[in-house]
Chains A and B, each alone.
Chain A
Amino acid sequence: VRPNPGTAAPGPEQYPATLVEACRQGERAALAKLFQAEAPYLERVLSRIVGGSSDLEDLLQLTLEAAIHAFPSFRGEASVRTWLTRIAVRTAMRHLRHPAQKRRVPFEVIEGGQSAISASRPQHEAEARARLRVLYGHLDALDDKHRTAFVLFQVEGRSMEEVAALMDTNLSTTKSRVMWARRKLFARLSKDPAARAWLAEYGGEAP
C-alpha cells in the first residue's frame, strides 16, 4: 500500500476584516486585491471540474461577477475561499449542464498557461496528457452533479460534509452521488484498454 498522498484542498486563507468589509462595500481596489490572490486557486478548482481549460477565462470571469454581486450578503460564516469555491462550483456545474459547451480541447492548447503536468513531471508530459484525455472522456459520461461531487471529494480532498455544503445539498445525497460516480467511472475504466495499461502501474491487473 502506497503512502497516502494527503489531501489536495488547501487551508482557508485569512484576510483582514477591513479588506472583507471593503469588498462587501464593493470597493474595486479591495475586490481586485482579493481576486488576484484567490484567482489561481479558483482556476484550479474550475479546471478540475470542467476538465479542460478552453473556457477557463470565461468561467473565472463569471465566478468573480457572481461574487461581486453576492458580496454584500457574505456573512463571514465560512472563509472567503470556501465561499468563493461554492460560487465557482455552481458556475462550473452550470457550464457542464450545457452539452454544447462541453469542451473537447485538451490542456495543451492554453498558450502561456500553466498546468501541474509540466511543472511536476515534464518527462511524462505527453503520457499525462493522454491519461487526462482518456479520463475526462469517461468523466464526460457522468451526470454533472455526480461528476462534481466526485471530483470535489476524491481529488480536492473535501469531506462529504464540505462537498454537501459546496453543492447546496444534504449529506446522504452527496454520498450517493459520489458512490454512483465512482461505480460508473470505475466500470468504464476497467473496460478501457488504454486505461488498463496505466492501471497496472497502480497495482491493477495488466491488460
Chain B
Amino acid sequence: MRATMCAEIEDLIERETLGWSEAERLRVEQHLNECDACRETLAISRFVRDTLLEAAGELPESSRSRAIRNALSMEKKDKKRSVYAPRRWLGAGVATLTLAAAAALIVFFVSRDSEVASTTVKPTPHKTTPAAASEAQRIAQNAAIPAQPAAEHADEWFETSAPEQRQLAHAQVDFAESTRARFHADRRLLELAQGRVEVDVETAQGESFSVQTDHFRVEVLGTQFTVTPDSVSVTRGRVQVFGRDGSVLARELAAGGQYRYSATTVAEAAARVASKRHMNDRDEAKPSDAKPSDTKPSDTKPSAAKKSAGAWLAEARAALSRGDGKTTRELVSAAEKSASPTRAERAEAKTLRAEAALLERDQLGALRLYREVAQQYAELSAGDNAAFAAAQLAKRADPTHERELLQSYLGRFPNGRFRDEAKQRLSRLGEATPTR
C-alpha cells in the first residue's frame, strides 16, 4: 500500500514542472510528512531543476554574430552541400567500425571466464586456458605485437567501480571509475577495453610498457601518460602510438601533446595509401619518358579543390605523425583559408603549427604558438592543452618563464586537465628555488 502511494507521489514529483492541482499538492504535502524517502526525492528533484535552470548560458554578442555570419557564409559558398551528408557517411563508417569493434570485443572477452561477476574493484588472476591462449595469440597477431607462445602465465583483469591505483610491473597505474582492462604481466601490456588509465612508468627499469586499445597501441620506456580507448595524453616524457596493424600513428608525442583516434583520419590515411599505390601502379605502366612531376603524388599538396577545414586538418595531423613539418604547415594554411572554419578548428590549426615547429626543433616558435592558442581559445580544451604544453616546453626552451606559465595555467584553468601535474611541478619548483 505504502509502495503504491510512494509510486504515485514519485510520479507527481516528476510532473511538478508541469504544475500540480490543489488536490495533488495537498496529497504530496500529506505524504511527505510521513515519508522520508519521498521528501528526499522531492529535494533532489528541486535541487536538480533549480541548478540546471541557472545553467542557461548565452554567448557574447560578437560570438553570436560570428556564428550566424559563418553559418550564412557556409550556405552561400556551399549551397548544394548537405550539412548532414558528410556526417551521414561518417555515421555509416562509424557504425561499421562500431560493429567490427563490438565483434572484436565479444571475441576478446571469450577468454574471460565468468570471473567478472561484480562491479567492485577486482584484479582477478587466472591461468590462461589453451583456448584463451590461442585467442590471445590471435589478438597479438592482429595488433602486430610479437605473440608469446601459449605459455602458462597469469593475466590480471581489472574492473573498477571507483578510482583505484595499482602497481603493474614497473608502472604505477591509476584506474578511473568504470574502467575495464587486462594486464599481461609477461609482455608488460595493459589492454584497455573501457574507461581511462593514467600510467606512470619507472624510467630506471629500462624496459618497455605498452597500453593497447581497440584502435592503437602506446609504447613507452619511461613517461607518464593517460589513455582512453580513443586518446592518449602525455604528461611527461615521450611516447609512440601505433595502429593495430603496426603502422605509426604518432611518431613522437611529447609532454603536453595529445593523440586522438579518429575513424575519419584512419580511413583517409588508408584511402591515401590506396591512392598512392594506385598511382604508383599507373606510373609503372606509363612510358618511360613520363616527366618526374607526373609521378608526384598530389595528395599532400593543398589543391584548389573545395575541402572542409576538418578534412585539411585531418591531412595535416597525418603529415605531422609522418614527421613532415613543412607539409603540415601547408595543409594547416589550406585549412585556415577554407570556408568558415569553426573556432575549434582554428584552435587546432594553430596547435598543429606549434607541433610542427616543435618537430623542427623551433622550441621558442612552438612556445609562442602554444601561448597564443592558450590565450585566444581559453574556453576550448585546446586552450587548456596548449597552456600546459607551453609550461612544459618552457622547462627546456625558456626556464625563466616556467613558474609564471604554470601559475598562469592554474589561474586560467583552475579545473584544467593538468591541474594536479601543474601544482606538483610548482611545488617542486618552490622547493628548488632558494628564498630571497
Stretch touching chain B among A14-22, A164-172, A198-206: A198-206
Q: Once bound together, how far apart are the Cα atoms of A8 and B48, in whole Å? A: 13
Interface-facing stretch out of B54-62, B211-219, B355-363: B54-62
Q: Which of B40-74 contact A (CB under 8 A)?
A: 40-60, 62-64, 66-68, 70-72, 74
Q: Closest approach, in angstroms, between the C-beta of A73 and any C-beta of chain B? A: 11
* Interface residue B19 (Cβ < 8 Å from any Cβ of A): yes
User: Given contacts A53-B57, A190-B44, are A1 and B72 in contact (CB under 8 A)?
Assistant: no
Q: Provide 5 A-B residue pairs closer than 8 Å at the C-beta atoms, listed in order of the A residue.
A: A65-B74, A154-B52, A189-B47, A199-B43, A205-B40
Q: Which residues of B contact A (CB under 8 A)?
A: 14, 16-20, 25, 28-29, 32, 36, 39-60, 62-64, 66-68, 70-72, 74-76, 79, 82-84, 87, 228, 230-231, 260, 340, 342-344, 378-381, 384, 413, 415, 417
- B39's nearest neighbour on chain A, judged by CB, is A203
Q: Is the beta-carbon distance between A68 and B55 smaller than 8 angstroms?
A: no
Most buried by B among A61, A105, A179: A61
B28 nearest CB neighbor, chain A only = A1
CA distance A90 to B18 in the complex (A): 24
* In contact, A69 and B75 (Cβ under 8 angstroms): yes
* Residue numbers in A under 8 Å from B52 (CB-CB): 48, 135, 151, 154-155
| Residue among B54, B58, B231 making CB contact with A40, cutoff 8 Å | B58
Which residues of A (173-207) have their CB < 8 Å from a CB of B? 178-179, 182, 185-186, 189-190, 195, 198-205
- Please give the distance in Å from B266's CB to the nearest CB on chain A: 15
Given A57-B59, A110-B60, A203-B39: A1 and B344 within 8 A (CB)? no
- Contact check: which of B28, B231, B379 meets A105 at CB < 8 Å? B379
Question: Which of A47, A54, A67, A159 is in CB contact (< 8 Å) with B379?
Answer: A54
**Nearest Cβ on chain B to A81's Cβ, whole angstroms:** 15
Q: In the bound complex, do residue B60 and residue A116 qualify as a contact, i.e. CB atoms below 8 Å apart?
A: no
Query: Of the candidates A2, A7, A116, which one forms a contact with B18 in the assembled complex, judged by CB atoms under 8 Å apart?
Result: A7
Which residues of B lie under 8 Å from residue A35 when comparing CB positions?
68, 71-72
* A100-B231 contact, Cβ under 8 Å, with A36-B68, A113-B57: yes
Q: In whole angstroms, what is the CA distance A157 to B19 when docked?
A: 10
Answer yes or no: A11 CB below 8 A from chain B CBs: no
**Which residues of chain A have C-beta atoms less than 8 A from B49's C-beta?**
5, 154-155
Q: Chain B's nearest CB lies how many Å from the CB of A154?
A: 6
In whole angstroms, how far apart are the Cα atoms of A117 and B13 in the complex?
A: 25
B68 touches A111 (CB 8 A): no
Enumerate chain A residues within 8 angstroms of B379, measured Cβ to Cβ. 53-54, 105, 109-111
> Is residue A26 within 8 Å, beta carbon to beta carbon, of the partner chain?
yes
Chain A min CB distance to B69 (Å): 8
In the complex, chain A residues 38-67 whose Cβ is within 8 Å of any chain B Cβ: 39-40, 43-44, 47-48, 51, 53-58, 60-62, 64-67
Q: How far is the CA of A111 from the CA of B381 in the complex (A)?
A: 15
For B74, what are the chain A residues with a Cβ–Cβ distance below 8 Å? 65, 68
Whether B75 contacts A65 by the Cβ 8 Å rule is yes
**A63 and B32 alpha carbons, distance in the complex (Å):** 43
Cβ–Cβ contact B43 & A64, under 8 A: no
| In the complex, the 3 A-B pairs of residues with the closest C-beta atoms, listed nearest first | A204-B43, A64-B71, A112-B60
Answer yes or no: A133 CB below 8 A from chain B CBs: yes
Known: A55-B380, A155-B52. A39 touches B57 (CB 8 A): no
| Interfacial chain B residues near A189, Cβ < 8 Å | 44, 47-48
- Given A48-B55, A115-B56: A69 touches B84 (CB 8 Å cut-off): yes
Judging by beta carbons under 8 Å apart, are A57 and B79 in contact? no
Distance in angstroms from B106 CB to nearest chain A CB is 21
CA distance A104 to B25 in the complex (A): 39
Selected contact of A61 from candidates B87, B231, B342, CB within 8 Å: B342
Residues of B within 8 A of A51 (CB): 55
Residues of A contacting B82 in the complex (Cβ-Cβ under 8 angstroms): 69
1/0 contact string of A115-142 vs chain B (CB within 8 Å): 1110010000000100111011000000
Known contacts A64-B67, A110-B379; is A132 also within 8 Å of B343 by CB?
no
Using A111-B379, A203-B46 as known contacts, list a sample of 13 further A-B pairs with CB atoms less than 8 Å apart, ordered by residue number in A. Answer: A2-B46, A35-B72, A48-B56, A57-B342, A60-B64, A68-B72, A99-B230, A105-B415, A112-B60, A113-B57, A115-B56, A120-B54, A205-B40
Query: In the bound complex, do residue A202 and residue B75 qualify as a contact, i.e. CB atoms below 8 Å apart?
Result: no
- Asked, given contacts A100-B260, A186-B44, A204-B43, whether A114 binds B58 with beta carbons under 8 Å apart, the answer is yes
The reply to whether B48 and A58 contact each other, CB–CB distance below 8 Å, is no
Give, as a whole number of angstroms, the nearest-CB distance from A52 to chain B. Answer: 8
CA separation between A146 and B51, bound complex, in Å? 18
A-chain residues with CB within 8 Å of residue B260 when the two chains form the complex: 100
Give chain B residues whose Cβ lies under 8 Å from the Cβ of A186. Answer: 41, 44-45, 48
Residue among A36, A54, A104, A136 facing the most chain B CB atoms (10 A cut-off)? A54
Bound CA–CA A153/B18 (angstroms): 9
**Which residues of A have CB within 8 Å of B343?**
57-58
- Could you say which residues of chain B place their CB within 8 Å of the CB of A61? 67-68, 70-71, 340, 342
Distance in angstroms between the alpha carbons of A109 and B381 in the assembled complex? 11
Given the known interface contacts A1-B32, A113-B57, the answer about A100 and B230 at a Cβ–Cβ threshold of 8 Å is yes
Contact between chains at B67 and A57 (CB < 8 Å):
yes
Contacts of B342 in A (CB 8 A): 57-58, 61-62
In the bound complex, what is the Cα–Cα distance between A47 and B58 (angstroms)? 8
Distance in Å: Cβ of B250 to nearest Cβ of chain A: 15
Would you call A116 and B54 a contact (CB within 8 A)? yes
Please report the C-alpha to C-alpha distance between residue A68 and residue B260 in the assembled complex, in whole angstroms: 31
Chain B residues whose C-beta falls within 8 Å of the C-beta of A36 in the assembled complex = 64, 68
Distance from B54 Cβ to chain A, minimum over Cβ atoms (Å):
5
With known contacts A4-B20, A105-B379, A110-B379, A60–B59 Cβ distance under 8 A: yes
Does the CB pair B17–A7 fall under 8 Å?
yes
Among B60, B63, B378, max chain A CB count under 10 A is at B63
Would A58 and B344 count as touching, CB distance under 8 A? yes
Q: How far is the CA of A206 from the CA of B74 in the complex (A)?
A: 53
